[in-house]
Structure 1
């Protein structure tokens, strides 16, 4: 039997057990006027009064939420059954003093502090009620959940003594748990749940107070499918709105399981390798404050891993997150671990953009098989643009320029193209093969991955520059007059004021230096690791730019019926086959004898890797380390993109991350 089928069968058993437990508890309680339902904390009055002889209300019964599974059926998000002790509203309404005495007695049996339980006997907004969340914010038509996640044996002893504990019942509630299969976290991609807002409850026909909905990641993207369909119970009520009996009941339909393309083993290896290399970078003096890894299949766009550091434990959301814990998750000083560095944050791609720059230069008229000078310095106007290593290499091929990452070759290619496009006098819509190829390979726009948020990155062409200038001109011109008095260093103050004056007057122009920086992945160009993985997937294969997907299928937990998540749209990359094949050879040389050779020296010969290092310079921060790759080089099955912010050289920090992931990918065959 396939792993996915076993997982579905297991979930079906969980649903059956939950129903059986509820029936057993119902038999123990056995009282006509008692409405005891799973997940009572989520019920509310949604239909108002029904017309007819009976005065009735309709309450919703939340469905068991579907699980999130990896490709082998291992749960990344699952459910655990908790025991809840409830008390009928009628008991409280008839005699509050007696009810409070009973609640204190219940607390003693359960081994809990009475104060926490007593607050739940008050409806929020009721005169004398304690402030939320101590009070009960749910419906007066359902039993009040006094205590959650209690010892089941102690709870059952309460219902065995109905004379001592009138109106007390026991129910089961499913809560989200995160099993970390193979040690994988995947926190940012799985996402988390949060309470439905008052507005959501008001506008939805299926949400009720205290319901949990997806607030990030896959939990949010597939919330409607995972949540299922709530059941409905029509109850008769008296003049006080208290339940006197059950008129009708429809069972809830459990949510569907989401089977993803994630592989827990690959995800765990990516997370560990990223953490290990970031720690190593810190021992070399780099801050290495965050990083991300993407693993995807370039043939289908299916994502096998999305790793991000810093990360956090998803269990912090179970049972409601504290204000302090939430503050830690969004704290800039702590690295904002809620953000996915694989999809949500864009970086200057540095030299990993050079394959696209080769394709752009050839598209603009440069000879793919020509030779080009690689001096130590290339001068544009009155500014010197230097090689990263700052030494000349003579006349070399474009393939060699990629292999050794010669910046000055790309400076000249970009400068000559800038001149041909019209230079400073070019119109906003002037043809620019560099930005055109980058956009055609997926940069400057969201990839369309099935996650609720991702960065679109940025391709700073003439159109973008003009709009950016219009948006910032007022501030630039103000700074041109006032300068930057808050900057302590005098030389920097003078420089910043001069830049502000220049940009106030002509900041909309694409200057020669801007074009040169674009060709080596610096300046205003920004891309996410996911975008770079998509780009290399297209360059390394047939030239198809694919929309990445994490969701693979939705499975009904009752009967195992499976519906496939549709793949996203595709388009052709603006790179001819001859250019792609030329670049594939160059990228292979980067790993065998170029800037990444040391990191892959021990890679087995049957898993040839092709890729490109990058070391991005960032104003105000230290260098960003990149490595984007695919393997096997002759027939790619996997693309691996790794980035470490303030991690130093790509060859020293990012390439070893990718190498560790590739060794695991090799074993998947």
Structure 2
């Protein structure tokens, strides 16, 4: 008898202990934080701030979504657990019962439906059993409340994109997503797993300001884990609006011009798989427009995205989510000559001398050809920029490489081309207020050795294998010989490396924004613009706080290189023989004089990448316009016409 009593006492203790554990510590996924015995704290997210253009027009807004919720206390009180109510609701909404019933189960709890059918939010709040319902369906439920105990129609704020059809700059503004565990832990309670936080773009960079301050409810919880009474409430404080430097009309025109230019390039037979365009305001470095192709409608994140659409958005280097203005670095081709010319002056070149533009130039055992192997003979440096003569810059590169010490040079210090490129900000990020920016690359001797050490084993294996999968013998032999060379001496910084650098080819890479910054520095005779996107915040009480633009810095353009470049870049657009002249034929250059440089980057195994970087008006530089189209053909035929269309918009805005 005593033994039986002891066992019963022990079992009772275990049951009571487990009940206390369930109430105070164990909670299904997404439950609120327990504040004390029988109470819990429910997180109340704040209304997120909007993202506005420079004149206050919304690029990202908030809208109301109609949801139907069901109270968990009502479900728990019902004899059948609320199944009859949910069946009636499913019939009224013409939705499957299993779908709605699964939503009433808490993810992680015993017997719960599998994610995402279950409810991953708090166990202490009404469950949104049906989201984004029509007004008619909502009315059908509210008209017969006796049939739907515990059911309510609520308005839920969601992100809205009024410019989704054009002008919204989705890659720049970004989107929202559920936070990862690390973000939740680092927030010290400000973010829960149920919240949405900025995943990319401005949404991420300024998440704290946009998110505001969450509130909380303290509720009494009964033994079933159901909230039965609100004990206290602290209302959330809405997030601040961001006023950006973007200009909606210019943004719309830039997106349209880029899309039109890509489509026309494809009509001419080019793949034109990706592209980007940016407009920079030289007064303060503000980004006036930023566009990428392919693009997407950001409302998919609010309206729901299918698995197939999610994979399209997030997979591969053609993902529409990629900001190709700041996040993709690629060889800038002949637009880089605006960097090499000041480098040539720093190396001792006299801009009053004539230079020989031959069809080709031989360095060691390799011949470097001019574009289309055209020769212009003895010409001025100004003419060399206008016609984009490669061989002039090859000779500069060879001299710089030799003066540096050739193959025996230990570092890049004193290499005039590399030093000038770095002085102009290349090889490092611009510091724009976005969370992900590529630094690009100015390849030098140290980088070459690091690259060789990391790839040597693969190169040697490739040389031994000999590319048997390639049927073309000459190509197979070339790639095999290249792999063997990289295996044996890939660490050497050869004269060909410097030659490729001089015309923006080979291993040098830059983002479109970096090249826009370089041309802004040239346009202003050495004042480097500091790109940024936010100019002010507006608190929920209407208080506006300005955000000072980043400080500029002065860059030395040696000798008369800046003045010559500005003249020569104007020739590129306006003079016979200029590589962008045909693109600007008929353009009102007297009223809106444009200067710029085309670039056509050769990419192994792909079509050429088209570049055009420009600024205007040359009489008083105000805007930089830069365009790049991957696999788009030549800069003059594809990128420059896109820039022209953007300049047409800018000229109208200025007027």
The alignment's TM-score, normalised by the length of structure 2, stands at 0.91
Would you say the 8 A contact 2:88–2:147 is kept in 1? Answer: no
Deviation at 1:328, TM superposition (A): 1.0
Would you say the 8 A contact 2:536–2:547 is kept in 1? Answer: yes
Aligned to 1:176: 159
Deviation at 1:567, TM superposition (A): 2.3
Deviation at 1:277, TM superposition (A): 1.6
Structure 2 residues not aligned, in runs of 5+ = 1-28
**What pairs with 1:463-482 in structure 2 (closer than 5 Å)?**
463-482=446-465
Aligned to 2:51: 68
Distance in 1 separating the partners of 2:617 and 2:493: 39
- Aligned to 1:459, what secondary structure does the other structure show? coil
**Which piece of structure 1 moves more, 621-630 or 485-494?**
485-494
Distance in 1 separating the partners of 2:314 and 2:65: 29
Aligned to 2:15: none
Give the 3 Å change call, closer, same or farther, for CA 199–386 of structure 1 in structure 2. Answer: closer
- Aligned to 2:202, what secondary structure does the other structure show? helix
Q: Does 1:50 align with 2:36?
A: yes
1:100-138, Cα deviation, whole Å (9 max, x unpaired): 101122233344333322111211122222101111112
Deviation at 1:642, TM superposition (A): 0.5
- Aligned to 2:191, what secondary structure does the other structure show? coil
1:395-450, Cα deviation, whole Å (9 max, x unpaired): 11111100111111111111111111111111124421111111111211111111
Deviation at 1:650, TM superposition (A): 0.7
Distance in 2 separating the partners of 1:203 and 1:90: 33
Aligned to 2:213: 229
Would you say the 8 A contact 1:625–1:644 is kept in 2? Answer: yes
Deviation at 1:332, TM superposition (A): 3.7
Aligned to 1:589: 571
Would you say the 8 A contact 1:361–1:433 is kept in 2? Answer: yes
Aligned to 1:28: none
Q: Does 1:297 align with 2:300?
A: no
Structure 1 residues not aligned, in runs of 5+ = 1-42
Deviation at 1:46, TM superposition (A): 4.4
Distance in 2 separating the partners of 1:461 and 1:494: 28
Aligned to 1:446: 429
Deviation at 1:460, TM superposition (A): 0.9
**Which piece of structure 1 moves more, 273-282 or 292-301?**
273-282
Give the 3 Å change call, closer, same or farther, for CA 190–507 of structure 1 in structure 2. Answer: same
Q: Does 1:428 align with 2:411?
A: yes
Aligned to 1:4: none
1:197-233, Cα deviation, whole Å (9 max, x unpaired): 3443344312223321111111111111111111111
**Which piece of structure 1 moves more, 455-464 or 357-366?**
455-464
Give the 3 Å change call, closer, same or farther, for CA 602–577 of structure 1 in structure 2. Answer: farther
- Aligned to 1:370, what secondary structure does the other structure show? coil
Distance in 2 separating the partners of 1:362 and 1:217: 39
1:373 to 337, 341, 356: 356
Would you say the 8 A contact 2:598–2:613 is kept in 1? Answer: yes
Distance in 1 separating the partners of 2:304 and 2:181: 17
Aligned to 2:635: 650
Give the 3 Å change call, closer, same or farther, for CA 102–400 of structure 1 in structure 2. Answer: same
Would you say the 8 A contact 2:346–2:558 is kept in 1? Answer: no
Would you say the 8 A contact 1:363–1:433 is kept in 2? Answer: yes
Would you say the 8 A contact 2:595–2:615 is kept in 1? Answer: yes
Aligned to 1:3: none
Distance in 2 separating the partners of 1:235 and 1:582: 73
1:620-650, Cα deviation, whole Å (9 max, x unpaired): 1111111100000121100000011111111
**Which piece of structure 1 moves more, 285-294 or 173-182?**
173-182
Deviation at 1:534, TM superposition (A): 0.5
1:522 to 505, 517, 522: 505
Distance in 2 separating the partners of 1:487 and 1:102: 67
Aligned to 1:485: 468
Aligned to 1:16: none
Deviation at 1:306, TM superposition (A): 0.9
Would you say the 8 A contact 1:368–1:398 is kept in 2? Answer: yes
Give the 3 Å change call, closer, same or farther, for CA 420–201 of structure 1 in structure 2. Answer: closer
**Which piece of structure 1 moves more, 474-483 or 55-64?**
474-483
Aligned to 1:572: 554
Would you say the 8 A contact 2:32–2:124 is kept in 1? Answer: no
Distance in 2 separating the partners of 1:96 and 1:219: 46
**What pairs with 1:137-286 in structure 2 (closer than 5 Å)?**
137-152=120-135, 154-155=137-138, 158-159=141-142, 161-180=144-163, 183-204=166-187, 205-286=189-270
Aligned to 1:312: 296
Deviation at 1:473, TM superposition (A): 1.5
Paired residues in the alignment total 622
Deviation at 1:99, TM superposition (A): 0.7
Post-superposition, which runs of at least 4 consecutive aligned residues in structure 1 deviate over 6 A? none
Aligned to 1:7: none
Distance in 2 separating the partners of 1:152 and 1:199: 39
Distance in 1 separating the partners of 2:182 and 2:91: 38
Q: Cα RMSD (Å) of the superposition? A: 1.9
Would you say the 8 A contact 2:30–2:120 is kept in 1? Answer: no
